Structure 1
Amino acid sequence: MRELSLQLSLLDHQVSGRLELKDVDVDCLDLVNRYGPLSPSALAKRAGLHPATLTGILDRLERGGWVARERDPSDRRAVLVRALRERNAELLGLYAGMNASLEEICAGYGAAELEVVADFLHRTARAGRVATEELAGG
């Protein structure tokens, strides 16, 4: 697991460098793409970041055309961060090599085996999320 984590971190670092972003910027963009639109405070909590740190990240992502900060239609005083999908192809293109490798790897397994692998990955991700929340204090 440590080797996988390390290799994925190194891949993410290469991707962020190509996009002229910081690694944490790409992490936050991924969170917005997966769970958004999110309020900045909800994003900060999910990312385990201080809200002031998140402001700089959102500024960079907004300048780069990756996200937009918009008024929440249900509460005009609140702001939501929304991913701008126009640049997703660029991001996906940088992960194309890894995605192709994963497809090739998965093709070597049967449906029942893939279910076990998927269950393991979901449970491991959940354990990581819990550990992160505990370290972040909340």
Structure 2
Amino acid sequence: MSTADDLVARTARRQHAHAIMTALRELRVQLSLLNHQVGGHVELKDIDLDCFELISREGPVSPTALARRAGLHPATMTGVLDRLERGGWVTRERDATDRRAVAVHAVRGRSTELMRLYGGLGRAIEELCAGRDEGELALVADFLRHATRAGRLATDTLAADRAGG
């Protein structure tokens, strides 16, 4: 391959990468707007919904670990957890061996309510997937997993920079 061909290939690759980043930013905005609507239906603030999702996926978790993961000040996390607990979304349980330690648990069954509200998106994604073969779906799923990992790393790096270390 010639140098000119290399340049054309690199330019095309950069253009594709730029198109992917643009599409991901557009998706982020649209999902944020959807999350805001879902939160409004269940009377949760956007950050409350985010924290409930983290607890559901990664919990049980300590309030301190959740605050760190969500990038929130511990006092802010207390307010979030108070709202989630009042709404019946989470419980805070003391550790049996260390009464100072608290674990936050998602209340079983509450995710079902959210799944119903996200149903329109789920159906649309299923329709999109129906038009793709198994190899394409595997490629997209793999790409999204890696993009999520990259986002988590970028988040952790910014959080560490902000914390001064």
Give the aligned partner of residue 110 of structure 1: 133
TM-score by length of 1: 0.95
Paired with 2:49 and 2:79, the residues of 1 have a C-alpha distance of 13
Q: Deviations over 1:24-76 (max 9, x none)?
A: 00000000000000011111111111111100000000000000000124533
The count of aligned residue pairs is 138
- Out of 80, 91, 101, the residue aligned to residue 103 of structure 2 is 80
Larger proportion of strand = 1
Which structure's CA Rg is the greater one?
Answer: 2
| Displacement after TM superposition at 1:81 (Å) | 0.3
1:45 maps to 68
TM-score, structure 2 length as denominator?
0.80
Deviation by residue 1:2-21 (Cα, 9 ceiling, x = unmatched): 11111000000101111111
More off after superposition, 67-76 vs 116-125? 67-76
Aligned-pair RMSD on alpha carbons?
Answer: 1.2
Correspondence 1:4 to 2:27: yes
The runs of at least 4 consecutive aligned structure 1 residues that moved more than 3 Å come to: 73-76
Name the structure, 1 or 2, with higher relative contact order (CA <8 Å, separation 6+): 1
Aligned mates of 1:2, 1:86 — CA distance in 2: 31
**Gap runs ≥5 in structure 2:** 1-23
1:99 matched residue in structure 2: 122
